[in-house]
């Protein structure tokens, strides 16, 4: 298994299922970036919990995934997902460039397997409002930065993985 893997794809492409399938080295730790802020998100979280089963430990880190990466030294760490993390950073008015840089540094120093899930949001039409365009651009930059430092990158379309790197 590569030390670091980025799994990219669109909404409902099969990214999370692929990331779970790649996570074979125990112990396994799931880093959740989503928060149950409404009923729909609560349902999505419950579905993800059911998909991964009971053999996972959980870290809830809507803003601080870097600490999870920095402290990870054994087994597989799966971060799902960078898109929600970026949204949380922007919502809480955190410095995206600083936090992204911290993540990149932590990934470079990682010693045990880490799998990151992220949405590819740049394949659609340009959003009509400035905030959505700012988010799309920030997500594209983050994906590029992470892809540059990880060992393997897979793009998922229709549930099928395509290896882009590694």
Question: CA nearest 161: which of 9, 5, 2?
Answer: 9
92 in catalytic set: no
E strands, 4-151, in order: 4-9, 28-32, 56-60, 76-80, 114-119
Q: Tokens 């998922």 label which residue?
A: 156
Residues 114, 5 contacting (CB under 8 angstroms):
yes
Tell me the C-alpha to C-alpha distance, in Å, between residue 14 and each of 70, 113, 147, 149. 27, 20, 19, 23
Catalytic residue among 2, 10, 45, 48: 48
Residues 62, 33 contacting (CB under 8 angstroms):
yes
Residues catalogued as catalytic: 48
């Amino acid at each position: 298994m590569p030390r670091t893997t980025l799994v990219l794809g669109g909404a409902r492409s099969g990214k999370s299922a692929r990331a779970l399938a790649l996570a074979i080295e125990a112990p396994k730790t799931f880093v959740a970036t989503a928060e149950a802020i409404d009923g729909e998100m609560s349902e999505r979280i419950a579905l993800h919990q059911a998909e991964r089963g009971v053999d996972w430990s959980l870290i809830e880190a809507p803003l601080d995934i870097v600490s999870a990466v920095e402290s990870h030294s054994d087994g597989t760490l799966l971060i799902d997902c960078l898109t929600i993390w970026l949204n949380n950073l922007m919502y809480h008015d955190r410095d995206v460039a600083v936090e992204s840089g911290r993540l990149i540094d932590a990934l470079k120093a990682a010693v045990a397997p880490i799998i990151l899930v992220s949405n590819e949001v740049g394949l659609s039409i340009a959003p009509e409002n400035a905030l959505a365009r700012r988010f799309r651009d920030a997500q594209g930059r983050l994906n590029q930065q992470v892809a540059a430092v990880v060992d393997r990158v897979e793009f998922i379309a229709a549930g099928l993985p395509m290896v882009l790197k590694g």
